[in-house]
Every structure is written in structure tokens, then in C-alpha cells.
Amino acid sequence: MATVEITAANFQETIEKQDIVLLDFWAEWCAPCRVFAPVYEKASEKHKDVTFGKIDTEVQQDLAGAANIQAIPTLMVFRDGVLLFREAGALPPAALEELVTQAKALDMEQVKAEIAAHAHEHDHEHGPGCDHEH
């Protein structure tokens, strides 16, 4: 699968897919983004079972703001709607390959159970009587 353009209109639908989604926040003027683009494109051709989305931060400024993008390129990885990875900077090919491999290998039932357990632990008011770390 080649890369796909992600906009505010299809962002939520894309990240909630029951599979792996990588998102590359980029801009035309960004030199590291231009270096990373062919690496990302090549990975998208190799991993046809993964969605590789590209978000042009100049065109999708509201979306970039909502995602709190501070530097570009920023790469996010979602699986089954869960954000697994978020980092600014252009990854070399081997690192991107390892990231995809790790995302594919995750036991998402375990990940979701850990998220639910963590949410349950913090399902209370925080204030002067709160005696645990966050």
C-alpha cells in the first residue's frame, strides 16, 4: 500500500482501524521530512498490511495543533486505536522496520488489559489525600 493523505475528515476513522496505522506529520519546507519521505514510502510498499498516513502540517494546521505537534517530522504508531509510539525526528530505515515489527508482534489484548487496569487505578479524585505516584 502506498502512503495515504490524512486530513481532519479521515483522521479519527483512520486511527481507529483494527490494524496498524503509522502517521507521518510533515511539511514541504522541512529538510528532515524530505529525507524521511522515501524511507517511509519504501516501508509502505513493503508492509502492505499497514496503513501509512501522511499529514501535511501546513495544510492540516488544526489537526497538527490538536495532535500537539511541536517538531516535524513526527511519527505516531497506532494499533487497534491505541497510540503505541510518538516521536519527533526522521528514523533511519532499520529503525522504522523495527518499529513496524514490534507493533505487529504486540499482544493487543494484554496491552488493552494493562490500559484498563491503569485507568481503574486512577479512577478517583486527586487532592490532598492522594498518596500514590502518577
Cα 16–Cα 20–Cα 26 angle in degrees, nearest 5: 85
- Catalytic residue list: 30, 33
Between the CA atoms of 75, 80, 20 and 121, what dihedral angle is there, to the nearest 10 degrees? Answer: 50
Supply the pTM of this predicted model. Answer: 0.86
> For the chain, how many helices (H) and strands (E)?
5, 5
What domains, with CATH codes, occur in the chain?
Answer: 4-121 (3.40.30.10)
Q: Kindly state the average pLDDT of the residues 72-94.
A: 96
| Residue 40 burial class via C-beta count within 10 angstroms: exposed 0-12, middle 13-18, buried 19 and up | buried
The DSSP element (H or E) to which 111 belongs, if any, is helix 108-121
Q: Kindly state the average pLDDT of the residues 84-95.
A: 96
Q: What CA–CA distance (Å, rounded) separates 33 from 73? A: 5
For the chain, what is the mean pLDDT?
90
pLDDT tier, 2 (very low <50, low <70, confident <90, very high otherwise): confident
Closest CA to 18 of 81, 77, 72, 61: 81
- Phi and psi torsions of 73, nearest 5°: -70, 150
